[in-house]
């Protein structure tokens, strides 16, 4: 593969924004150079020159939380590894970390092997795996060390979904003890599922069956309580803790408090919690709210969660922004919950829109361009043991690069920017500033000027190291 020069752009990193040329050699970044400073020796092998004048040159996005083909509620997330990673590429994300799912009674290793089979040879971009532990027992605890050796260095546990993925506090404690010994990261779905199930049963008995009641029966108090409990269990065991898809301001306050005490506790949020709400979306007329049924749920805008999330994003107590991409179509999937919101498969698709949606934080003066790059690219790479191969534009890193036009415009919705395998868009009608113009994945241009040039199978499995983000 020959050399590529990206010329004239502003390279944005976590520490600053600077006019620099980027020289790519094969799959890697070879050098960052003062504009026009390419010497004759390096210029010799340059086959392609990309003019990035007036645009940002940023690391390819790292989405640390996706669910391609995830089985849920008798159906399966509608994006395959092929369609979902292609959509991610369209949106400037060049790495995902997806979840292998262990349900009760299955061996961890078998589920991991199955997820490799699903993804192998199909992905457009590089990918790693976390392991969901749906069954914490002696065998799965032993299996954790084998997975860490294979580059699967994080384990998700659930305090929600009794009878499906739920772990008791005792099981959580044991898994955290094993994780602490291994140096592995515990990822937590922090909602009190036992209490939620009672509220759900009572709501349905009252006839409150519409999608809106999915949100009402998962109040923020039950997210705050579970987050606090998870933090305390992590403290007792010494395990590093990453709380996924945080939507409640009060849960983030718990995380901020633990971080203030120097604990290895991290928070993740997702664009849906920053932009969508219980009132407008879950509460949409008829059955439309089903489009936005996910857990944790969208919160009441009136309660101030969104403002708090943006604040915590700025201060650093939200470490990373992922999508929790878990798409289901309305037809035949979300439809299953007509007349009973508890049967609506939980999940929102958004892998394609994270970079653009988070860029609105820059446009609106809520975060800096540097922080945008940090939460979307660099921090998730460090959090999940992929740094400095991913998440940074520096010599030796994989040449995963996005040329982003801050003056561009993106129209989100079906028939416009929509490559996910869903029959609706959770962000339909969003008109946003900024545009993903060109995407390079390991040195190859895979998206350019509205054309997709990648191939299924280009993406490789990433063996991850332990988290590089511990306090």
Among 326, 357, 445, 447, binds ligand DUC (CB under 6 A): 326
Among 124, 243, 294, 393, binds ligand DUC (CB under 6 A): 294
In terms of CB distance, is 67 or 122 closer to ligand DUC?
A: 67
| Residues binding ligand DUC: number (CB under 6 A) | 8
Could you give the string, one character per residue 50-79, with x where binding to ligand DUC holds by CB under 6 A and - elsewhere? -----------------x----x-------
One-letter-per-residue 3-state SS of the chain: CCEEEEECCEEECCCCEEECEEEEECCEEEEEECCCCCCHHHHCCEEEEEECCCCEEEECEEEEEECCCCEECCEECCCCHHHHHHHHHHCCEEEEEEEEECCCCCCHHHHHHHHHHHHCCCCCCEEEEEEECCCCCHHHHHHHHHHHHCCCCEEEEECCCCCCCECCHHHHHHHHHHHHHHCCEEEEECCCHHHHHHHHHHHHHHCCCCCHHHHHCCCHHHHHHHHHHHHHHHHHHCCCEEECCCCCHHHHHHHHHHHHCCCCEEEEECHHHHHCCHHHHHCCCCCHHHHHCCCCCCCCHHHCHHHHHHHHHHHCCCCEECCCECCCCCCCCHHHHCCCHHHCCCCECCCCCHHHHHHHHHHCCCCCHHHHHHHHHHHHHHHCCCCCCCCCCCCCCECCEEEEEEEEEEEECCCCECCCCCCCCCCCCCEEEEEEEEEEECCEEEEECCEECCCCCCCCECCCCCCCCCC
- Distance of closest approach, residue 115 Cβ to Zn ion, in angstroms: 14
- Distance of closest approach, residue 214 Cβ to ligand DUC, in angstroms: 10
Among 60, 347, 380, 434, binds ligand DUC (CB under 6 A): 347
Burial class (CB within 10 angstroms; exposed 0-12, middle 13-18, buried 19+) of 62: buried
Among 295, 323, 360, 417, binds ligand DUC (CB under 6 A): 295
In terms of CB distance, is 5 or 133 closer to ligand DUC?
A: 133
In terms of CB distance, is 354 or 442 closer to ligand DUC?
A: 354
Among 122, 174, 189, 325, binds Zn ion (CB under 5 A): 189
Could you give the string, one character per residue 449-468, with x where binding to ligand DUC holds by CB under 6 A and - elsewhere? --------------------
Q: CA–CA separation, 422 vs 326, rounded Å?
A: 10
Closest chain position to ligand DUC (CB): 294
Instruction: By CB under 6 A, tell whether 373 contacts ligand DUC.
Output: no
- Distance of closest approach, residue 465 Cβ to Zn ion, in angstroms: 22
Instruction: By CB under 6 A, tell whether 346 contacts ligand DUC.
Output: yes
Residue 131 site contact among Zn ion, ligand DUC, none (CB < 5 to 8 Å, cut-off depends on kind): none
In terms of CB distance, is 6 or 185 closer to Zn ion?
A: 185
Question: Would residue 24 be called left, alpha or beta, if left means φ above 0 and alpha means ψ between -120 and 50 degrees?
Answer: beta
Among 3, 189, 371, 442, binds ligand DUC (CB under 6 A): 189
CB 443 within 8 A of CB 458: no
Instruction: By CB under 5 A, tell whether 98 contacts Zn ion.
Output: no
In terms of CB distance, is 224 or 400 closer to ligand DUC?
A: 224
Tell me the window of 251-259, 317-325, 332-340, 450-458 that interacts with Zn ion (CB under 5 A): 317-325
Residue 346 site contact among Zn ion, ligand DUC, none (CB < 5 to 8 Å, cut-off depends on kind): ligand DUC
Instruction: By CB under 6 A, tell whether 360 contacts ligand DUC.
Output: no
- Distance of closest approach, residue 326 Cβ to Zn ion, in angstroms: 6
In terms of CB distance, is 14 or 131 closer to Zn ion?
A: 131
In terms of CB distance, is 231 or 294 closer to ligand DUC?
A: 294
- Distance of closest approach, residue 346 Cβ to ligand DUC, in angstroms: 4
Q: CA–CA separation, 443 vs 468, rounded Å?
A: 25
Given the rule CB under 6 A, which residues bind ligand DUC?
67, 72, 189, 294-295, 326, 346-347
Contact footprint for Zn ion (CB under 5 A): 189, 324
């Amino acid at each position: 593969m020959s050399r590529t020069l990206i010329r004239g752009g502003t390279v944005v990193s976590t520490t600053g924004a600077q006019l620099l040329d980027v020289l790519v050699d094969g799959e890697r970044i070879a050098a960052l150079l003062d504009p026009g400073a390419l010497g004759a020796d390096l210029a010799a092998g340059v086959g392609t020159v990309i003019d990035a004048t007036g645009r940002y040159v940023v690391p390819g996005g790292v989405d640390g939380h996706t669910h391609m083909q995830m089985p849920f509620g008798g159906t399966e997330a509608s994006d395959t590894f092929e369609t979902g990673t292609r959509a991610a590429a369209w949106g400037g994300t060049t790495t995902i970390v997806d979840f292998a799912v262990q349900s009760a009674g299955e061996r961890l290793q078998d589920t991991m092997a199955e997820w490799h089979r699903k993804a192998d040879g199909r992905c457009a971009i590089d990918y790693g795996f976390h392991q969901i532990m749906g069954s914490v027992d002696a065998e799965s605890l032993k299996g954790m060390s084998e997975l860490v050796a294979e580059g699967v260095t994080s384990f998700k546990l659930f305090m929600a979904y009794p009878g499906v993925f739920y772990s008791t506090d005792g099981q959580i404690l044991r898994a955290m003890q094993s994780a602490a010994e291994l140096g592995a990261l515990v990822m937590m779905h922090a909602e009190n599922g036992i209490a939620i199930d009672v509220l759900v049963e009572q709501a349905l008995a009252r006839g409150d069956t519409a999608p809106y009641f999915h949100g009402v029966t998962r109040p923020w108090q039950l997210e705050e309580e579970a987050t606090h409990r998870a933090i305390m269990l992590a403290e007792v065991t010494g395990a590093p803790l990453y709380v996924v898809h945080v939507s409640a301001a009060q849960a983030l306050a718990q995380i901020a408090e633990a971080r203030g005490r120097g604990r290895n506790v991290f928070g993740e949020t997702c664009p849906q919690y920053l932009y969508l709400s219980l009132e407008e979306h879950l509460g949409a007329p008829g059955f439309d709210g089903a489009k936005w049924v996910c857990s944790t749920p969208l919160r009441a805008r009136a309660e101030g969660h969104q403002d708090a999330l943006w604040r915590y994003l700025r201060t650093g107590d939200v470490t990373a922004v992922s999508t929790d991409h878990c798409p289901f179509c309305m037809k035949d999937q979300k439809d299953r919950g007509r007349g009973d919101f508890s049967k609506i498969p939980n999940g929102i698709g958004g892998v394609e829109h994270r970079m653009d949606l988070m860029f609105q934080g820059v446009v609106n003066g809520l975060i800096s361009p540097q922080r945008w790059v940090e939460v979307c690219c660099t921090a998730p790479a460090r959090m999940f043991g992929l740094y400095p191969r991913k998440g940074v534009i520096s010599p030796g890193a994989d040449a995963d690069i996005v040329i982003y036009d801050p003056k561009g415009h993106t129209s989100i919705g079906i028939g416009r920017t929509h490559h996910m395998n869903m029959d609706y868009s959770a962000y339909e009608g969003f008109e946003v500033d900024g545009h993903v113009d060109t995407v390079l994945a390991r040195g190859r241009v895979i998206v350019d000027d509205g054309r997709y040039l990648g191939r299924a199978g280009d993406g490789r499995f990433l063996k991850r190291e332990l988290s590089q983000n511990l306090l």
